[in-house]
Amino acid sequence: MTGSARAGGYRRNAFVLSLAVGVVGVTFGVFAAEAGLSLAKAMAMSLFVFTGASQFASVSVIDGGGNPVSAVGSALLLAARNTLYGPVVAPTLRVRGWRRFPAAQFVIDETTAMATAEDDPDTGRRSFWFTAGWLFVLWNAGTAVGVVAGNAVGDPAAWGLDAAFPAAFVALILPHLRRRAGRTAAALGGLIALVAIPLVPAGVPILLAAFAVLPALRVAEPLPAAGEGEP
Amino acid sequence: MSWTMIAVLAVGAYAWKALGLVVLGGRTLGPRAAALATLLPAALFSALIVVMTVADDDALVLDARVVGVAAGAVAAWRRAPFVVVVLVAMAATAAARALA
């Protein structure tokens, strides 16, 4: 069973996820405006940095009186995990030539999770681009609304928005847990993050969790022969 | 926040993504590397779930998020549609916060 068959269609899922991201975009716009960013600067962040956690982190360091170097440093540490998503989605996306350069801008948590929750590579590719499109539009629209209209969404924590994302990723990780190696990678990755959170700067726990794949590979079922392909 | 800083952030964040998709993703992976790449989402998204659920910067915090994510996980396990999983998690977290 594919992720979308269980979860009701990747188009709808992409929209739901992007809608939640759009609401967070409003809170980013409000936060950026409070920290003194103009509409142009806030929009430049959402259009070109396009990495939510990094945007919040850098604005928060500056707003707290921190220096620009540490603001950029902590933001880029949070963004580093996107590098690990590249080799994961590349076989699914199969973009060639110059198109790889614009495509790279959209390789983030949500698009990678939506693409890899699908068993069929063609569905995975469509799911990636559907998510990328909605997410980009709604994240930027949300940012603009937040800067211009102010806090139109109240306190998102009061209606539990911060739990929407981890829960969404729980739904998206389930297809990876069908095999023993995937379950091992997930268990060890989560454990590594849990131990690392108090010890290393934000962003690094997720990078360290990548090492979970090494022991997980040892419990993997034998690979299918070349050309046989995954079912 | 200066324009220079925004430019550095934009270039830096994009450089990570391009390094991943264009440089690392541009290679043809051997069977072992391909198997490792297949396992990466499980490891990374599990870590992301943990971070989003119990981390507050570099502190471990057990708050209403845990209740919501647990409720969402049960819904996902019971094969509820994606939107239901998200709404259940939000409702449980909001309820836990309202009661606290």
Contact at 8 Å (CB) between A86 and B21?
Answer: yes
A160–B2 CB contact, under 8 Å = no
Contact at 8 Å (CB) between A92 and B27?
Answer: no
A166–B48 CB contact, under 8 Å = yes
Query: Average pLDDT over chain B, rounded to whole?
Result: 95
| Alpha-carbon distance B34 to nearest alpha carbon in chain A (angstroms) | 9
Beta bridge partners of A101: none
- Find the radius of gyration of the CA atoms of chain A: 19
Structure tokens at A70: 């540490």
Mean local confidence (pLDDT), A134-150: 96
Say which of B38, B47, B72 has its CB closest to residue A163.
B72
Residues contacting A78, CB < 8 A, separation 6+: A51, A53, A54, A57, A202, A203
d(CA A20, CA A164) in angstroms, rounded, equals 8
Residue-wise pLDDT for B33-76, tens only, equals 999 999 999 999 999 999 999 999 889 999 999 999 999 999 99
Whether B42 has its CB under 8 Å from any CB of chain A: the answer is yes
| Alpha-carbon distance A149 to nearest alpha carbon in chain B (angstroms) | 21
Residue-wise pLDDT for A11-21, tens only, equals 999 999 999 99
Q: Which residues of B touch A193 (CB under 8 A)?
A: 46-48, 50-51
State residue A100's pLDDT score: 96
Q: Which of A28, A94, A116, A104 is nearest to B13 (CA)?
A: A104
Q: Which residue has the tokens 């979860």?
A: A7
Q: Show the DSSP H helices in A117-179 as ranges.
A: 121-149, 161-173
The answer on pLDDT for A225 being more than 60 is: no
Q: Which residues of B touch A75 (CB under 8 A)?
A: 9, 12-13
Contact at 8 Å (CB) between A157 and A184?
Answer: no
Residue-wise pLDDT for B3-40, tens only, equals 999 999 999 999 999 999 999 998 888 999 999 999 99
Compute the Cα dihedral for A74, A195, A89, A167 and give only its sign: negative
Query: Average pLDDT over chain A, rounded to whole?
Result: 91
Whether B99 has its CB under 8 Å from any CB of chain A: the answer is no
Q: Show the DSSP H helices in A35-120 as ranges.
A: 39-44, 52-63, 68-79, 81-93, 100-104, 109-116
Say which of A72, A193, A226 has its CB closest to residue B50.
A193
d(CA A192, CA A6) in angstroms, rounded, equals 29
The answer on pLDDT for A192 being more than 90 is: yes
The ipTM of this complex is 0.95
Q: Which of A68, A66, A73, A75 is nearest to A28 (CA)?
A: A75
Angle value at C-alpha A209, between A50 and A95, nearest 5 degrees: 45
Contact at 8 Å (CB) between A59 and B1?
Answer: yes
State residue B100's pLDDT score: 84
Residue-wise pLDDT for A198-214, tens only, equals 999 999 999 999 999 99
CA distances from A156 to A30, A86, A153, A227, B26 (A): 12, 31, 7, 48, 40
State residue A222's pLDDT score: 66
A101–B22 CB contact, under 8 Å = yes
Mean local confidence (pLDDT), A176-192: 97
